[in-house]
Amino acid sequence: MYINAFLFAYLHSVKSIVMSHAEFEAQLCNLRSSLERYALSLTMNKDDAGDLLQETIYKALRYRDSFAENTNLLSWTFTIMRNIFINNYRKNSRLAKNLDFNKDTTFLERQIETAIMNPDSAYSVKEIQKAVSELSDEYKIPFNMHTEGYKYKEIADALDIPIGSVKSRIFIARRKLMTRLKEYSLRS
């Protein structure tokens, strides 16, 4: 009698695990559009966003056993996506630094020279710098610090403002620049 009860409980738990995997996959599929939007906001590139989405879904499925029930699945997958994005960014940054130490830099130097000598690119850089300088200090300072490589937390500490305000000001600065430089984006 005891063995039958134990066996029944075991089989019932296996059935619920199978059901939870199926439910997990169904819920993950329902989050696809939110994940696509978040990936696009991180990468600003449709192809890269698709790659990031694919890798996120793969890792979510691979590590679904570490997902705790009664947890927000959207937050969990957003965290996975953000971590993948950050890791890829860091990996690409290291690759770019390694490229600078390459002994055969002739090709790189030629690219830099042609970019500098191209009148359109020089005009565009001046135009972009002018548009940034026309921003009010409230937006210009956090934006410039961000483009120089400072992290949101470092900017917030330096300016003594909340991190949310930093993110908001950088976002608004980008929007203002996109509006101001609309014809530049059409030219490229």
Spatial separation of the C-alpha atoms in residues 65 and 111, rounded to whole Å: 48
Domains and CATH numbers, the chain: 2-99 (1.10.1740.10), 106-187 (1.10.10.10)
The structure's pTM equals: 0.47
Give me Rg for the CA atoms of the chain: 24
Q: How many CB atoms neighbour CB 10 within 10 A?
A: 10
Kindly give the confidence (pLDDT) of every residue in the chain, 188 residues in length, as a single tens digit, with 9 standing for 90 and above. Answer: 455 555 455 545 544 454 478 888 999 999 999 999 999 998 888 999 999 999 999 999 999 888 887 889 999 999 999 999 988 888 887 766 655 554 555 444 444 444 444 555 554 777 888 888 899 999 999 998 888 888 899 899 888 999 999 999 999 999 988 888 876 655 54
